Amino acid sequence: MINFDNNKPIYLQIADDITDHIALGHPAPEERIASVRDIAAQYQVNANTAMRSVEYLQSKDIIYNRRGIGYFVAADAVQRIMINRREQFMNSEIDYFFNRLSMLGFSPDEVKEMFQNYINKIEK
């Protein structure tokens, strides 16, 4: 269960959570995802909301339907997720991020060092 944010439609938040799992390899490409009914139960939402999440992911070619069997992760889903997320970040979050860094007086060298330290930390 995720804590829903009031600033974004619930079906998109569910789709984001599902894509987080796919990006981490669970389920892997070409594996079946949970049924709409199971997704609704897992997130404690109406089946129509779960279906909207699934339809959204299908429209983004992250999952596909095998008629009568269920929905499966597309072979290139992880790449599509990363492309979509990078695009979303560049279009809606980076200006705020850089604005905050500038407002707080961080120099480009400080930002570069912080980012390198972060990369080093997560690679361990």
pLDDT value at residue 26? 95
Residue 32's beta-bridge partner residues? Answer: 72
Is 1 a residue whose pLDDT tops 70? no
Whether 70 and 35 have beta carbons less than 8 Å apart is answered as yes
For the segment 31-68, what is each residue's pLDDT rounded down to a tens digit?
Answer: 999 999 999 999 999 999 999 999 999 999 999 999 99
DSSP-derived secondary structure for 55-78: HHHHHTTSEEEETTTEEEE-TTHH
**Tokens read off for 54:** 């699934």
Mean pLDDT, rounded, for 114-122 = 94
Whether 1 and 43 have beta carbons less than 8 Å apart is answered as yes
Mean pLDDT, rounded, for 26-30 = 97
Measured distance CA(49)–CA(69) in Å, rounded? 20
Measured distance CA(124)–CA(104) in Å, rounded? 29
For the segment 78-113, what is each residue's pLDDT rounded down to a tens digit?
Answer: 999 999 999 989 998 999 999 999 999 999 999 999
Angstrom distances, CA of residue 26 to CA of 22, 39, 44: 5, 14, 20
Single pTM value for the model: 0.80
**Tokens read off for 26:** 């669970």
Whether 59 and 49 have beta carbons less than 8 Å apart is answered as no
